[in-house]
Structure 1
């Protein structure tokens, strides 16, 4: 299923047709969640792969075998992508699922479910830069144009998966007081991986022994993941993801946006951000700090 030049429109939001069909998107909105399910929710380029890896390792109590032998899309499938139903048939034990869908699209399916939802957010300036470079290498995404053009499209919500602002606000505003919902940021994980691991493992009711925790941290470090073909997407054919144009796991840093944004672009972003997030309690780390 190539469909590299196809765009699907669903609930007024655009999706890359290489991964999504109208049928797969409808399947997601009517998804049958089980109480034991674990759902990772993110806007693209916000730490999805990192959380998939961390939870995989937590559920395996630090044993890296599965994370080193099964592609992340096979062990933590996106429920809105066309291959999901077939993948689920092969999954055993608690299902680890992933989605980029906005709250308004998925909320009806989650209503009444006890599935655990983990929302990972990342400061949007870093999201924009990461998403821009991903567009340059992923042939199933549209040509991003110049960074200035992509920034404008992003701020207007006219990119695949819709508005970052709507995505993060709707999920957190509607679910933050839910006992089955955990909010964590990319920057939190970067600054304090140990604390973040404890937070996630407690939420999943899967406490780890010291040596298990150490193994999780070691195997979900950026340097380990970037060399693991099960998570770095080098298994994807060149015609779909052109690895000569960049790496899927590019830098993984906090605050790298300063190397791409001009002062004027940063100001333009800040004006829009302050306007759209005026009613939000969310805060983000914008500058790099040393990880723990």
Structure 2
């Protein structure tokens, strides 16, 4: 099982709008509470990690049926935030006891901010990375439709914030590098958003092998079909249309927009390309 508790001060200070130095300050100010309510990771468990806008919703959509013999009931009847909750959100403490073992969870947290219980556990990790330029564009549009986040300003202004890590959960390269950690050994599986988009069936096969699970061909077909971006976009349990408009205004920009490599034609800024290339080269 997987049990997670996280300081409510994170939610009060709107975690999704913070970068890590500020989070560290919050925890320092509220260390006693955090110590009492920090995450407790108990094996067996499966966690999907992504930086924001890198495939979290996709992971929330595919993990439950992969863990439950291809059964789509939960993904068709339970909102994704209750079906596969985020480790860092206080909502997790409300819904975790209702989830069957093994529990699937997701998180945007970097490796170095995981609780000590995680490192002592045998929890398995699926890490999803995405082209940082696509992460940038998705993040920009989300800021435009989410009322609880600050105005992103112009796209050029947001690019500066993104490149300097002044966005929630910090710099893309830092997050990816933190999870490329040899200490995890065979506990972690690395996949990319682009691989899922190009050949979801092949990626699901890799995930099943990693999880030690098997599905019949018919069940796998069912999960592949349900897990397409087109179907997720129309699934009210996954597209955030159930969230009140005053919190997330899907009229301004739908949460699930295109699900493609959106920057191929939209962004031709040479400077940005050079900066991204320099950062990604450090990961090779």
- TM-score with structure 2 setting the length: 0.87
- Asked if structure 2 preserves the Cα contact closer than 8 Å seen for 1:104 and 1:170, the reply is yes
Q: Give the gaps of 5 or more residues in structure 1.
A: 282-292
Residue of structure 1 equivalent to 2:121: 113
State which of 12, 31, 34 in structure 1 corresponds to 2:21.
12
**Is it true that 1:279 corresponds to 2:282 in the alignment?**
yes
**Structure 2: runs of 5 or more not aligned:** 1-7
Q: Post-superposition shift, 1:98?
A: 1.0
Summarize the Cα distance change of 1:191–1:10 in structure 2 as closer, same or farther, 3 Å threshold: closer
Q: Secondary structure at the match of 2:180?
A: helix
Greater than 4 Å deviation, 4+ residue runs: 3-11
1:82 correspondence with 2:85: no
| Per-residue Cα deviation, 1:100-133 (whole angstroms, up to 9, x for no partner) | 0111101633212100100000011111111111
Cα pair 1:40 1:98 within 8 Å, conserved: yes
Distance in 2 between the 1:35 and 1:28 partners?
A: 20
Give the CA deviation at 1:258: 3.0
Structure 1 residue 258 corresponds to structure 2 residue 267: no
Q: Secondary structure at the match of 1:245?
A: coil
Aligned mate of 2:61, from 53, 63, 84: 53
Contact 1:13 1:161 in 2 (8 A): no
- 1:27 Cα shift? 7.0
Kindly tell me: are residues 71 and 14 of structure 1, through their superposed partners in 2, closer, same or farther at Cα, counting changes over 3 Å? same
SS in 2 for 1:12: helix
Shift in Å, 1:13:
4.6
What is the match of residue 111 of structure 2?
103
* Residues 1:152 and 2:160 aligned together: yes
Cα pair 2:152 2:158 within 8 Å, conserved:
yes
CA deviation after TM superposition for structure 1 residue 4, in Å: 9.7
1:169-188 mapped onto 2 (5 Å cutoff): 169-174=177-182, 178-188=185-195
Mark the CA change 1:153 to 1:11 in structure 2 (over 3 Å): closer, same or farther.
closer
Q: Give the helix-richer structure, 1 or 2.
A: 2
For residue 14 of structure 1, report the CA deviation from its aligned partner. Answer: 5.3
Note closer, same or farther for the CA distance 1:26–1:277 as it changes in structure 2 (3 Å cut). farther
Distance 1:243 1:279, change over 3 A: closer
Determine the C-alpha separation between the residues in 1 that align with 2:128 and 2:36.
19
Cα deviations by residue, 1:226-273 (Å, 9 ceiling, x for unpaired): 11100000010011101110111100012x113432x3x2x2222222
Asked if residue 65 in structure 1 is aligned to residue 68 in structure 2, the reply is no
Q: Secondary structure at the match of 2:242?
A: coil
Equivalent residue, structure 2, for 1:209: 216
Between the aligned partners of 1:39 and 1:78, the Cα distance in structure 2 is 9
Moved more, 108-117 or 212-221: 108-117
Cα pair distance change 1:277/1:173, threshold 3 Å: farther
